[in-house]
Chains A and B, each alone.
Chain A
């Protein structure tokens, strides 16, 4: 085949999220020139990094056809514990960060324990720990706001080569997520489990271990993202990170991760998180009515996912076996 005709609609459909990303970017950029300034772009990436980190952890879980609804509460509880230790035991920022990551990972391990050992479905387990986690947090703080020491804000303002710290952490999480998923045995086994868990068992994969680990990874990412987000705000109240699970799942799915498992990757989570944040920022820049903003966001997410399902249906059609040569052989010009 010398001349391959490129099917433009097909190409657009196959990269629908990126196309939508560019379209949204152009629309907001044209309507509000401020939006295109380097500063605001960096700010969008920074704001996206929190959801993005959680979405990368979530991608691991979704790849096994599971779900983790508890990430928002996890962000809250791990920051509460780290914050209390900082305030009451005078823990430094770095040890506190380690504590937050540890608590997040343990939180994930509890989810994993219920799912793998007690054999409760992930949806119910993580819905339960969503409520319990926030409950423990409010009990520990007696619903009081925690103000973090100055050192915390100083940590949050670190820049490397003018790049804010959250973006750097986000990049590191992405690189680690990408390498684990694509280049390690564990990562490929995650895909295998999501493709067909029965077959994975027969192939001798320790599926319990794989599932255990993905929830721990998701918990780790939530703990880390929560702490980094706090370092930007300096304080923590009882509604912190409420509803983040929705953004994280939406980001992963926007990036092409299937809720049925086996399909998706870390890069998609990054694109998805950026898209969501860009829409958010664009609405603010264009001074859209504050009360309408959630609706507009929801519509854009809906459109992206609708394109995704169109693409799936289209790919399904392409998979139909062709037996006869197509008669329409056009003369090559």
Chain B
């Protein structure tokens, strides 16, 4: 049997760094291939090569036995390859139907009078939506649907294009548990229909569950490719990291003190959060857990001054904040590592050094002329990047968007480190990044706490909160519904607290 996709000795270099080195890989019809590796291991680049987003420096590919050399994404689309990116790629100002048909609208009429056949488009969209179990109007604008629904729309689009190979890049990062399950059932169904799947994820258990075979990449090289039955989580991690990791979490060195650093007293915003009281101490890592839509991120945004609140006080280091704004929060030594790196955390087209220097730019200005001292800027940003072990090319040249997810997150953290904050709000700091990079981020969090900073660690992964925090607060429906100290940590009890309010009101 000829394999559906065959890759031979493919390589690709960026900024003189080889991102993919002589990788050979085959994918068969009906096969689900799990692709794993640390950030920067070259998975995304490899997939971009297949998807025609970037072109190979050397090597060849065949699709169904025929030579395949995509020069653009539309070549990949014509060859039957659909690529569902980690960051969703839908046009928010268009309808679901228009998004699904954007490459090739059905049309009526001739010559210059070719209009979109909207009846056909609606009808086929309806069918496509049904196949992924979405009950939405084809005319709904995409900016009105949830991230999970958008993901399903992307899949509906791939199915509509009759793709024979569907690539999923971290598809579950923005999905709720229920949506994830729906996705998995759908992937299973696609496999049974003979479609090939490449599934990239950092959630190793998902990969084990979903795939027939697993390919592991490290530093641009394929270091392992075998049937899934030959893998377990330990072997996966060992291959990814290159050595075995003893534990997922670094040993805690920070000891929380009793001095309050940040206090919230009765903070309320109508319809969003209600009567929030919390205290963050020096050297403490305080977890904030809640299900999707529990108000975690909203609370963080209010706390940092991005959104307004109606009542309540915020006290930092004994000074009460009046008229909150991000500027005053930064002046009061607060830092906010946002949930969404691409949209809120980084200037993607700007080089790494300028990204890192952004928050503390005034500090680099010379006293009289206010001209930025470029040499000091480069030196300081370089040392911040070094401290976090950022893996990159020249930081004054390379744009942030060319970094892998984990390295982008390090740039965000480095940016804040330069302003020497004492309170860190970290919203999903490890989302979409791999085990090795997670470990590094955890170590950074611990070091920050050890130097007396307080960290408000927001996450929907309970395990990492239990691994890293001194205390965990549970939010539900915009309220704090539970508090657990380290001795009381218990997965079941915390989850029950998170669900409780929901069950009552629903």
Contacts and interface: CB of A to CB of B under 8 A. Distances in A.
B91 A204 contact: no
Nearest to A194: B93
Interface string B100-118: 0011110100000011101
Contacts, number: 93
B294 A323 contact: yes
B115 A203 contact: no
Interface in A171-200: 179, 183-185, 188-189, 191-192, 194-196, 199-200
B162 to A, nearest CB: 14
Given A203-B73, A324-B274, A184 B116 contact: yes
Nearest to B53: A202
A206 interface: yes
Size band of the interface chain A makes with B: 20 to 34
A209 B448 CA distance: 51
B94 A192 contact: yes
Contacts of B90: 199
B268 to A, nearest CB: 10
B165 to A, nearest CB: 15
Contacts of A191: 91, 93-94
A132 interface: no
Size band of the interface chain B makes with A: 35 or more
Contacts of A87: none
A326 interface: yes
A191 B271 CA distance: 34
A322 B271 contact: yes
B411 to A, nearest CB: 19
B470 to A, nearest CB: 26
A324 B115 contact: no
B295 A188 contact: no
Nearest to B157: A203
A179 B109 CA distance: 13
B89 interface: yes
Contacts of A206: 74
Contact of A195 (B92, B105, B272): B92
A125 B98 CA distance: 32
Contact of A179 (B77, B115, B295, B505): B115
B477 interface: yes
B85 interface: yes
Given A320-B307, A323-B477, A324-B274, A183 B91 contact: no
Contacts of B478: 323-324
A199 B114 contact: no
Nearest to B293: A323
B203 to A, nearest CB: 24
Contacts of B272: 320-324
B298 interface: yes
Contacts of A192: 91, 94, 98, 102
Contacts of B107: 184-185
A305 interface: no
A205 interface: yes
B243 interface: no
Contact of A201 (B73, B104, B307, B477): B73
B115 A204 contact: no
A165 interface: no
Contacts of A195: 91-94
Given A321-B293, A323-B294, A323-B477, A203 B103 contact: yes
A321 B116 CA distance: 34
A199 B103 contact: no
30 contacts: A184-B107, A185-B105, A185-B114, A185-B116, A188-B94, A188-B102, A188-B105, A194-B93, A195-B92, A195-B93, A195-B94, A202-B53, A202-B89, A203-B89, A203-B102, A203-B103, A205-B74, A262-B91, A263-B93, A320-B298, A322-B272, A323-B271, A323-B273, A323-B298, A323-B478, A324-B271, A324-B477, A324-B479, A325-B505, A327-B270
Given A323-B298, A326-B270, 13 more contacts: A179-B115, A183-B116, A183-B118, A185-B105, A188-B116, A195-B94, A199-B91, A203-B89, A205-B103, A321-B298, A324-B273, A324-B274, A324-B479
A-B residue pairs, 10 tightest by C-beta: A204-B74, A185-B105, A322-B271, A195-B91, A183-B115, A199-B89, A324-B478, A192-B91, A323-B478, A262-B93
